[in-house]
Structure 1
Amino acid sequence: MRGSRITAVIALLLSAALLLSACDRSDAVPLAGYSQGDAMPEQQTGSGKGAGAGLLADTGGIGSYPIRTGKTLTYWAELNGNAASIKPSFEDIPFFREWQKRTGVKLQFIQPPANQAKEAMNVLLASGELPDMIEYEWASFPGGPEKAIKDGYILRLNEAIDRYAPNLKKYLGGHPEIDKQVKTADGSYYVFPFIQGDDRLRTYQGPVIRKDWLDELGLPVPATIDEWHTALKGFKEKKGVQAPLTFLGVPSPLFGIENGAFVGAFGIKKGFYLDQGEVKFGPLEPGYKQFLALFRKWYEEGLLDRNIATVDTKTLDSNMISGRSGASIWNAGAGIGTWQPIVQERDPNARFVAAPYPVLNKGDRPKFGQRTNLYTGSGGVAISSKSGNVEEAVRMLDYGYSPEGHLFFNFGLENISYTMVDGYPTYTDLILRNPDRLAPSQALAMYNRASYFGPFVQDVRYLEQYYVLPEQKEATRIWSDTDADSHLLPPVPKTERESAELSAIMMDVTTLVDEMSLKIILGIEPVDACDAYVAQLKALHIDRAIEIQEKALERYNRM
């Protein structure tokens, strides 16, 4: 299996490297204003306008809540990391308790270990004992979601949505571009989707660097590869920083650069992208060899984290907060918004700022950067084909697309986590200035799902308040200043046969790309090994994978 092969390769390549021990987190603190044993207060929902406007008004009958049922449904999902850092299980999170109360549907949660969702899913499917609802990246299921339907794992939702989900049906009817993204090529709805409801929500990640260290060294915020080299070298040699640049290497090697940071300076991405309407695969292009040569040099100079393939989010936080690292590729919220308040407690001058996506030549506009589609394919909730509680599951999931559910999923509990101010749902101090010293990202994860995925439409008004630091607001402006939109491959629906063939090809291709990339960066293989490895990619039928993507794109454009 791909996971075991990658694990073995990482162990081999990094056996001589020193691994950083991540800092232990302190015990979770209680949430101010809400005790685990308290009953939820009755809510006044308010009506607000803005991104939530245009959702279907509550209807009588099938659209009414709470549902009268004595059943308990099962729900499989991985707990978000920000929530898990405070409370260990879904049952302890106020949002999930209130969701059950509002919809009238009781849930029994099945929670896989952190960062092991794919492995746990394989075990779950093999067992045949499937829960009623499964929150998972079904768009990336081997063979595609249509195969998951035909193999009897999840339900084709078309009829169920027509009968029991008036809110989602209304939303998709008013957004035809999103509607065609959330179906398979055979026209099957397969999840209650997570949808980003505003263009401003689509960019939230990019390069981050310690501005106070740059000022100390008399250096500008880097924009070019050469300026980055100078800054990282300065951190290493003059500040004594152990791992100047750190980024995620989990769940896959080089995961942190997949949106285009550094690799994009050479005119390519690590995966599929569009170039003047033509589908391309970055590791086939000459620019990928140039990128690997750069990172090999930086690794030799000690500018990259020595644990490049094993950095997870906990280690990343530790690196940046402790000063072991001075630059990364991460989010405005979970990165800048989390790190800066903590570091400034001991060093008031500390300041994390966004840097542009790197380019080769001063003044060039970045070709790539982090940019999502309005439907990302992540965070959707499917219903098991074996569920005997389809109506209850559908009606519960449809709640997130109702006006009341929209406010709840994005803002939480009125008069607790938000109040209505002139029709605008405004977060309270419980979220933005938490008395228990929770970061906003952690407090949000307790009371709503706005800062991560789920069965709802994300509201831009969450973002307008979530980014409380001026550095966060500036970050999204800087990171958005790219040509990423013109190179973004939409989530094109594929047939079951196309998905199965593409999955089989890409499993081997991705393994080879990750293995060879690490070997070259770590100096185990020469840079010129890229030439032979490109030939291997072709032998693994990468050209056929590109052809499948192109055919699916052509079909998508005709829809």
Structure 2
Amino acid sequence: MKKKAVQLLAVLCCGSLLLSACSKNQAAPPSAEPKGSPNAANVNPPGQFPVVKDKITLKAAIRGSSLVEDLKTNGYTKWLENKTNVHVEWTILDEKSYQEQLNLLLASGNLPDVLMNLDVSPEQQMIYGEQGMFVSFTDLIEKYGENTKKIFKEMPEVKSAVTAPGNKIYSLPYINECYHCSLDYKMYVYKPWLDKLGLKEPATLDEFYQMLKAFKEKDPNGNGKPDEIALIGGEPKNAIKSQVDVFLMNSFIYDDGLKRMIVKDGKIDVVYNKPEWKEGLKYLNKLYKEGLLDRQSFTIDKDGLKKIAENPDIAIAGAIPAHSPSDITIVEGKSGRWLDYQPIAPLKGPNGAPKATWLAYDKIRQGEFIMTSANKYPEATMRWADAMYEFEAALYSNFGIEGSSWEKAKPGDLGRDGNPATYRLLIPFGRVQNENWAQYGLNYRTDKDYYAGQAVLKQPDKEKMYYDITKKNYEPYKPKIEEIVPPLFFPSNDAQQLADLDKTINDYVKSSIARFVTGDADIEKEWNNYVQTLDKMNLKTYIGIYQKALDAKKGG
């Protein structure tokens, strides 16, 4: 690899994503598709187990997990080997520094057969795929990917998300369809205060404003002190789902809380230089000036928000944006506030119908299962990976052994959606154990089967509560999927430029939100300068790179 290309990789993936030059030992041709290996005859047809007639051994590098005692002797490891006849020799990378270790592994030329749960970026997939170090699964899926093809049919957006230009699929998808997580930027309001003040749940921006004024001025906690915090948000890095602008800005213009981009008639654009964005900032500034939006809202982290929401003895916070009660309260804690804070629906704004931020592609994780050119068993590897998508495999992978951690549903068991349940969970997820992979490997966790399908064995059931309130208050307001920017692959020359532009522009947008809302910058006097500054930062070029990648995806 030429020196210039090495320098490009270093710039593209600086820091923890630093990529190194490739070893001369890699002999696979660029963008190679497996044409059928000498070991294909050992592989049983799709749907037939075990995967291989005679046992094989795959070498896999995987990120370590603090929740798994020993991957080699793990219950799911043994179950999967018994089912597939595929033995695995594990190289376990450090849970925190795994990306640096991955880069060294790629540079060494001593590749394992498979890379698992190492968050290999789309840029890395394209670079190493074009060099032949990563093998495309496209043809293998067609011949051996029975479950993978089913996923692509049921969720076409998944295939779109993982397919690189040239119809190359370098990473099999990891699916975690958490319904309430996909509609994630909610506004939680302390319901006992609404009840005490005789207020109904606000439906418009003005009603929300009046509610906050009542929280601030009418002593809803009844202690005779002006200690009520009407509304507080969190700082954008540590408490990203508690950013104060997202929920409220959606009453003016769509805000996804991340890149703040939209797609209209196939064209990508940003929202933060539009008149509607300006009006949203003016509304937030009004709340701030009147003391209804707490001054800590751009600096406080998740732990700080939880301390405020769980203030001892008496409640002091009225409204807090969050992902779920677990972000701001102690779920099933003694205070009971995890039940008292309830999410309200998006608020009607100047343009009528509001939106709810929909993370339509958040269920899809890329770069979790990569096959390298060192692999001598591509057909068996495809079938082994495909087996992990089965529902029973998901239960073993995420919970553990049947009868120990979970069991099949009993007659009369109902799931969280009110339909017959699929299984019962016997031991909660999250403990250190040696039965499951703690959500590693490949997964196909659908909302219907995995989340809604779990039997409700006690009340209140937190997941059912999250499901019901999301269905009622947020599902009706989500945008069309065509309006959302999908995951994109960028060629290396564009990715380098994009990395610089992305940080410069989005850091400026975030800081400007804080400055306009707090009044550090006068929005009427400085708005035009703000828009012009974005233009000088090459916003047009930035949008153009995204548009080019979107057009390439549509072109296949």
TM-score (norm 1): 0.69
Q: CA RMSD in A?
A: 4.6
Q: Show the counterpart of 2:466.
A: 472
Letter in 2 for 1:381: E
TM alignment of 1:377-526, pairs within 5 A: 377-378=364-365, 380-383=367-370, 385=372, 397-409=385-397, 412-415=400-403, 416-421=405-410, 424-431=421-428, 442=430, 455-464=443-452, 465=454, 468-469=461-462, 471-476=465-470, 477-485=472-480, 488-491=483-486, 493-496=488-491, 497-526=493-522
- 1:125 corresponds, among 96, 103, 109, to 103
Pair 171,544 (structure 1): closer, same or farther in 2 beyond 3 Å = same
* 2:262 counterpart of 1:273: yes
Q: Secondary structure at the match of 2:74?
A: helix
1:273-313 per-residue CA deviation (whole Å, 9 max, x = no partner) reads 13455432011112222222333343344444544345444
- 1:110 corresponds, among 79, 87, 93, to 93
Contact 1:417–1:427 (8 Å) recurs in 2: yes
Contact 1:210–1:351 (8 Å) recurs in 2: yes
Q: Show the counterpart of 1:172.
A: 152
Q: Show the counterpart of 2:528.
A: 531
Q: How far is 1:354 from its partner?
A: 1.7
Pair 474,253 (structure 1): closer, same or farther in 2 beyond 3 Å = closer
* 2:67 counterpart of 1:90: yes
Q: Secondary structure at the match of 2:503?
A: helix
| Structure whose CA Rg is larger | 2
1:430-457 per-residue CA deviation (whole Å, 9 max, x = no partner) reads 34xxxxxxxxx75799987999996434
TM alignment of 1:254-333, pairs within 5 A: 256-257=242-243, 260-269=246-255, 271-275=260-264, 277-322=266-311, 323=315, 325-332=317-324
1:454-511 per-residue CA deviation (whole Å, 9 max, x = no partner) reads 6434242333247825643431121112142266324154451554544443222112
1:214-234 per-residue CA deviation (whole Å, 9 max, x = no partner) reads 112222222222222233343
Letter in 1 for 2:392: E
Pair 462,95 (structure 1): closer, same or farther in 2 beyond 3 Å = farther
* 2:332 counterpart of 1:341: yes
Return the alpha-carbon distance in structure 2 between the equivalents of residues 491 and 425 of structure 1: 32
Q: How far is 1:341 from its partner?
A: 2.6
Letter in 2 for 1:474: D
- 1:100 corresponds, among 68, 71, 77, to 77
* 2:178 counterpart of 1:187: no
Q: How far is 1:405 from its partner?
A: 1.6
Q: Show the counterpart of 2:543.
A: 546
Return the alpha-carbon distance in structure 2 between the equivalents of residues 73 and 217 of structure 1: 60
Contact 1:265–1:360 (8 Å) recurs in 2: yes
Aligned-pair identity in percent equals 18
Contact 1:196–1:374 (8 Å) recurs in 2: no
Contact 2:138–2:168 (8 Å) recurs in 1: yes
Q: How far is 1:262 from its partner?
A: 0.8
* 2:67 counterpart of 1:73: no
- 2:117 corresponds, among 129, 135, 153, to 135
Return the alpha-carbon distance in structure 2 between the equivalents of residues 94 and 259 of structure 1: 43
Return the alpha-carbon distance in structure 1 between the equivalents of residues 316 and 12 of structure 2: 31
Pair 264,394 (structure 1): closer, same or farther in 2 beyond 3 Å = same
Contact 1:72–1:106 (8 Å) recurs in 2: yes
Letter in 2 for 1:460: K
Pair 203,410 (structure 1): closer, same or farther in 2 beyond 3 Å = farther
Pair 348,456 (structure 1): closer, same or farther in 2 beyond 3 Å = closer
1:138-183 per-residue CA deviation (whole Å, 9 max, x = no partner) reads 56x5x47423544788554446656875542554367555323321
Q: How far is 1:387 from its partner?
A: 6.3
Q: How far is 1:272 from its partner?
A: 0.6
Q: How far is 1:329 from its partner?
A: 2.6
Return the alpha-carbon distance in structure 2 between the equivalents of residues 232 and 321 of structure 1: 19
Q: How far is 1:266 from its partner?
A: 1.4
Return the alpha-carbon distance in structure 2 between the equivalents of residues 315 and 446 of structure 1: 34
Q: Structure 2: any 5+ residue segments left out of the alignment? A: 1-10, 15-44, 82-87, 412-419
Q: Show the counterpart of 1:437.
A: none
Return the alpha-carbon distance in structure 1 between the equivalents of residues 56 and 103 of structure 2: 28
Pair 273,517 (structure 1): closer, same or farther in 2 beyond 3 Å = same
Return the alpha-carbon distance in structure 2 between the equivalents of residues 452 and 206 of structure 1: 28
Bigger drift between 186-195 and 349-358 goes to 349-358
Return the alpha-carbon distance in structure 2 between the equivalents of residues 448 and 220 of structure 1: 46
Letter in 2 for 1:400: M
Q: How far is 1:93 from its partner?
A: 9.2
Q: How far is 1:258 from its partner?
A: 9.2
Q: How far is 1:540 from its partner?
A: 2.0
Contact 2:391–2:444 (8 Å) recurs in 1: no
Letter in 2 for 1:291: G
Q: Show the counterpart of 1:48.
A: none
Which of the two has greater helix per residue?
Answer: 1
Pair 71,315 (structure 1): closer, same or farther in 2 beyond 3 Å = farther
Q: Show the counterpart of 2:48.
A: 59
Return the alpha-carbon distance in structure 1 between the equivalents of residues 79 and 182 of structure 2: 29
Letter in 2 for 1:110: L
Contact 1:249–1:256 (8 Å) recurs in 2: yes
Q: How far is 1:348 from its partner?
A: 8.2
1:415-435 per-residue CA deviation (whole Å, 9 max, x = no partner) reads 23342335842223534xxxx
* 2:248 counterpart of 1:251: no
Pair 333,319 (structure 1): closer, same or farther in 2 beyond 3 Å = closer
Bigger drift between 290-299 and 181-190 goes to 290-299
Q: Secondary structure at the match of 1:91?
A: coil
Contact 2:232–2:320 (8 Å) recurs in 1: yes
TM-score (norm 2): 0.69
Contact 1:90–1:96 (8 Å) recurs in 2: no
Return the alpha-carbon distance in structure 2 between the equivalents of residues 399 and 110 of structure 1: 24
